[in-house]
Amino acid sequence: MCALCGLSGESSAHLFISCPVVSSIWYSVSYWLGWEFVSPRDLLGHFEAFVGLGADRKARNIFSLVWLAVVWSIWKSRNDVIFSGRPFSVDVLVDRAKRSSWIWFSEVGPSSRSGGVRCSGSWWCIGVVGVLA
């Protein structure tokens, strides 16, 4: 049984894409990114569609990093519920994904590999769209 919604058996597609709780997470992340995102039903298609929102290589790299941070945060939150009995919160998970993606981005972002993208962590939490300009 899915630890997040309790409505369905747990599979990778359900846990990361079709779970109604997770759908609200992807909606919040899409809103934060400033994009409208229609979610495919399989994991690879979801990743490709999400990353494909980026207009250029820099944007696709950032969206890829954000997607990975969201998936990692979902997995970590799921494990917290199952193994530690911690309560689950969509807002906490979305904040965790934002923080994780910022930390990961800041490790490589200011380097020459990032195309010179620079921003602050607080600005990142407001919205990533300005970073892509």
Mean pLDDT of 96-120: 67
Report the pLDDT value the prediction gives residue 127, as an integer from 0 to 100. 59
Among the listed residues 89, 61, 57, the one whose alpha carbon sits nearest the alpha carbon of residue 76: 89
Domain-located, residue 59? yes
Domain-located, residue 3? no
Report the pLDDT value the prediction gives residue 115, as an integer from 0 to 100. 46
Per DSSP, helices labelled H in the chain are 12-13, 20-33, 43-51, 57-84, 90-108, 121-126, 129-132
Mean pLDDT of 10-39: 90
Give residue 128's domain range. 12-132
Domain-located, residue 1? no
Mean pLDDT of 33-50: 87
Q: How far apart are the first and last CA of the chain?
A: 43
Average pLDDT taken over every residue of the chain: 83
Domain-located, residue 104? yes
Domain-located, residue 5? no
Reading the block at residue 64, the tokens are: 């890829």
Report the pLDDT value the prediction gives residue 112, as an integer from 0 to 100. 37
**Domains in the chain: how many in total?**
1
Identify the band that residue 55 occupies on the pLDDT scale cut at 50, 70 and 90.
Answer: confident
Mean pLDDT of 78-100: 94
Report the pLDDT value the prediction gives residue 25, as an integer from 0 to 100. 95
Identify the band that residue 102 occupies on the pLDDT scale cut at 50, 70 and 90.
Answer: confident
